[in-house]
Amino acid sequence: MPNTLNSSKKKPSAHSTLVSRNITVNGHRTSVRLEPAMWNGLTDICRREHITVHSLCSAVATQKSKETSLTAAIRVFIMAYYRAAATEEGHEKSGHGQCLADNAVRTLVQIVLDPSSGAPLPSPYLIGKAYHPPAAAG
């Protein structure tokens, strides 16, 4: 008689919770896989700062080190953005969502991804329209 107890048990499927989305980074289409909460955070940041996901991810891609994946760099940026916003004082000092500084996206992303530079972390809330991705080769 076969052992039906063991044969009827199924291993749980290895279902990923990551969500894959296509984005355009510096004029090239690519796929990024993030947790739903990370996508929500990224979307909220972009909405607040009046910048597209594509532009922000292009800035991250441009400033990250070659050894770091784009996905990891995006996660670090999201975490740093929310970390800076953790206090009311941080919101007030940063000018949250006011689009005040030119090229703040590049500066912020560079410092976040290279903390060894020793430069002070600028407010991530100034990214607004400061970053303009390179024109796509056509």
Question: Has residue 127 got a pLDDT over 70?
Answer: no
HSE-CB at 62 with a 13 A cutoff on CA atoms is 21
Confidence band of 27 (pLDDT split at 50, 70, 90): very high
Amino acid code (one letter) for 58: S
Per-residue model confidence as pLDDT tens digits over 49-75: 888 999 999 999 998 889 999 999 999
**What's the pLDDT score for residue 131?**
40
Whether the per-residue pLDDT at 135 is higher than 60: the answer is no
Domains by residue range for the chain, with CATH: 19-126 (1.10.3990)
pLDDT value at residue 126 = 44
Tell me which of 47 and 87 has the higher pLDDT: 47
Average pLDDT, the chain: 73
pLDDT at position 10 is 53
Q: How far is CA 125 from CA 20, 48, 137, in A?
A: 26, 8, 30
Say whether pLDDT at 48 is over 50. yes
